[in-house]
Amino acid sequence: MEGFLPEDEPLSDARRRGEEIGATPIGPAGGAALRFLTTLIGARTVVEIGSGCGVSGIWLMRGMAKDAVLTSVDIDPEHQRLAKQAYAEAGLASFRTRMITGPALEVLPRLTDGAYDMVFCDAQKHEYPEYLTGALRLLRPGGVVAFDNALWGGRVADPDRRDPETEAIREVHRMIREDDRLVPLLVPVGDGLLCAVKRD
């Protein structure tokens, strides 16, 4: 499944650089799912929480309209520097990205309500429930929220795992399942991609 759509050189180089500094980007199958989703909904405005050193951004922007803008939020300036390098190598124009450095829970409240087609979350796992709350405010009706690492290496399904990150991922699963405003889907690609559409 991971090899169904092989990554080209800009993606593989961005992935290598990310892994070299300890940032694990979304896998190829998950990235392909992101591109599919942005294409499906005709996304023009997307927020990503955690840049993945450019891997997720390339996948997202390749599905978005040619003049669409990705807002990338990351606490680590080095991750963002590498993301900018990756975008340039992928031939993506600089006007297509808005890079914001800072903690997501401080940045998200400054973004405009209902102005985004998609929010992709792949940063601090213990903050996932708060990311969902912020995403629901930011998304337009029909918009999509997606969380990487929804399976968390099998730990989410292991009742003996009670660490804060695993518990937070379980909590965001519960919140999405029980929210009548959302249509949920857990996609078993990579380490799991938990998605939901915000109803009209």
Distance separating alpha carbons of residues 71 and 181, to the nearest angstrom: 24
Is 3 a member of any domain? no
Any domain includes 92: yes
Counting the structural domains of the chain, the total is: 1
pTM, two decimal places: 0.96
User: Does residue 4 lie in a domain region?
Assistant: no
13 in any annotated domain: yes
Tell me, yes or no, whether 152 lies in a domain.
Answer: yes
Q: Identify the CA nearest to 11 among candidates 45, 51, 57, 47.
A: 57
Q: Would 35 be classed as within a structural domain?
A: yes
Beta bridge partners of 101: 74
In a domain, 188, yes or no: yes
pLDDT value, residue 6: 87
Average pLDDT per consecutive 10 residues, the chain (200 residues; last block may be shorter): 85 96 94 98 98 97 97 97 98 97 98 98 98 98 98 95 97 98 96 96
The pLDDT, as a whole number, for residue 174 is 98
Q: Tell me, what CATH number does 129's domain have?
A: 3.40.50.150
Q: Is residue 79 part of a domain?
A: yes
Nearest-angstrom CA–CA distance, 12 and 192: 20
Task: For the chain, report the end-to-end CA distance as a whole number of angstroms.
Answer: 33
As a whole number of angstroms, the distance between CA 164 and CA 153 comes to 15
Bridge partners, 69 (sequence order) = 45
Query: Residue 5: what pLDDT?
Result: 82
Domain extent, residue 23, equals 9-198
**Residues linked to residue 187 through DSSP beta bridges, in sequence order:** 193
Q: Beta strands 139-148 and 193-198: pairing type?
A: antiparallel
How does pLDDT run across 152-191, given as a tens digit for each residue? 999 999 999 999 999 999 999 999 999 999 999 999 999 9
- Token output for 184: 């949920």
